[in-house]
Structure 1
């Protein structure tokens, strides 16, 4: 699955909700795995640990470490229908949160998703 690498994205506040939507869409389109996370969240840690275990590089966007984190989280809620973190995207598709990623891994369904 390639070398293990985590890219953490921290940037300043975006100007508009359209900018936030564009940022989210670009992040999930340009990266195989994106985890919208909060650094203190145990479910976020659970998801990130699964990807580390399978040596899958991921882009982590720590919402609590960004000035615009709340706006990103609200925009994600509008896009996905839920506002909890983590929100994990694989190949541009939201696959859920930490327990969902763990269940996909336990059932053997995660690795095929990472290959495609």
Structure 2
């Protein structure tokens, strides 16, 4: 997950993932290493955080993550079934 230290959406996304049992979240802090923002933008075409990846799948942002959960598609994705 590409994130910054002060982003409330990053905190919400991380909280949902932790509620789902995901403890090891690889956070890439673009506020600490601006070159990583360029990397994020090349991968996603977007400049806002969070940008969440589950494996190689680009989920998108916090709202996208919560939408996947509401649709019942997040758990299978986290279990490697999607």
TM-score range, shorter chain: 0.7 to 0.9
Q: Is the 8 A contact 1:104 1:110 kept in 2?
A: yes
Report the 3-state secondary structure (helix = DSSP H, G, I; strand = E; otherwise coil) of the residue aligned with 1:113: helix
Pair member with larger Rg: 1
Q: Relative to total residues, which structure has the larger strand share, 1 or 2?
A: 1
Residues of 2 paired with 1:97 and 1:89: CA distance?
Answer: 9
Mapping of residues 48-87 of structure 1, within 5 Å:
48-57=14-23, 58-64=25-31, 66=32, 69-87=33-51
- For residues 66-101 of structure 1, the C-alpha deviation after alignment (integer angstroms, 9 at most, x for no partner) is 2xx211112211221111110100011211011111
RMSD of aligned residue pairs (Cα, Å): 1.2
Whose helix proportion is higher, 1 or 2? 1
Q: Residues of 2 paired with 1:59 and 1:79: CA distance? A: 16
Partner of 1:38: 4
1:72, 1:63 → 2: CA distance? 5
TM-score of the superposed pair, with normalisation by structure 2: 0.86
Structure 1 residues not aligned, in runs of 5+: 1-34
